[in-house]
Amino acid sequence: MNATATPQPAAPAAVPVKNQRKLIGRVVSNKMQKTVVVQVERRVKHATFGKIITRSSKYHAHVASGTFQEGDLVEIAEGRPISKTKSWTVTRLVEKSKIV
């Protein structure tokens, strides 16, 4: 055995994620604990007619604190699966909803 072993480099504490998918959408439901439902809309061109149409998808996103209300515009980022339907996390609030 070698008494003077070379020290191993420490593992980096926080490795930045290179290609993490990020989407921006509106909160449509905040009735669950630590989860919000975010609807993301995208505009695509119809293959046959060429008309611009709106497609939407709903994503369940994890929220550590329940500070987001319905109508808020938020950014979500993809991560590891947290539950059966939840593999997104809310990263930031883009715009607060306007109270009518």
What does the pLDDT read at residue 100?
65
SS3 95: strand
What does the pLDDT read at residue 67?
86
User: From CA 34, how far away is CA 86, in angstroms rounded?
Assistant: 11
What does the pLDDT read at residue 20?
85
User: From CA 78, how far away is CA 17, in angstroms rounded?
Assistant: 10
**Between the CA atoms of 55, 58, 65 and 62, what dihedral angle is there, to the nearest 10 degrees?**
-120
What does the pLDDT read at residue 96?
92
Per-residue pLDDT of the chain (100 residues; tens, 9 = 90+): 566 666 665 555 555 667 789 999 999 999 999 999 999 999 999 999 999 999 999 999 999 887 899 999 999 999 999 999 999 999 999 999 887 6
User: Does CATH number 3.40.80.10 belong to domain 22-95?
Assistant: no
